Structure 1
Amino acid sequence: MSMSRGIDTGTELPAGREEGLKRALLAAVAVGVVLLLGAAIFLWQQHGTALFFDTLAAGIAACF
């Protein structure tokens, strides 16, 4: 027997508004990914592979 019960907190959003918030969140994540990818491409063009290998090596070293 489950002890969990559905408690109405009154904080549920209408279906249309909830869908809009999901789309806005998805759009914000997509913009963030595109900006990070663009920054990575820009840095790759400016500094070549050395920057990325140094960053990777520093990240691995920080783990140990």
Structure 2
Amino acid sequence: MAQTLHRPLSEAAPRPAGTGRPSERLMILAAVATVGALLAAGVLLWLRHGATVFFDMLNAGIASCL
């Protein structure tokens, strides 16, 4: 006879926000910090050099693909 594969309702319900394991929260915090640092670096480069840096990077990337 086949067994049914179901979980009790208490295990199937999603957890409320902020109740994850500390390692999950640490990984999310690290990802947010990394994205924030990259965004800040991009804004600082834009303020210092204007569009020149970004267009030079685009041209160098396209040239390396050809």
TM bucket (normalised to shorter chain) is 0.5 to 0.7
Matched to 2:35, the amino acid is V
Larger radius of gyration, structure 1 or 2? 2
Instruction: In structure 1, list runs of 5 or more residues that go unmatched.
Output: 1-17
Matched to 1:26, the amino acid is I
Moved over 2 A (4+): none
- TM-score, normalising length: structure 1: 0.67
Matched to 1:33, the amino acid is V
CA distance in 2, matches of 1:60, 1:21: 39
- TM-score, normalising length: structure 2: 0.65
Structure 2 equivalent of residue 46 of structure 1: 48
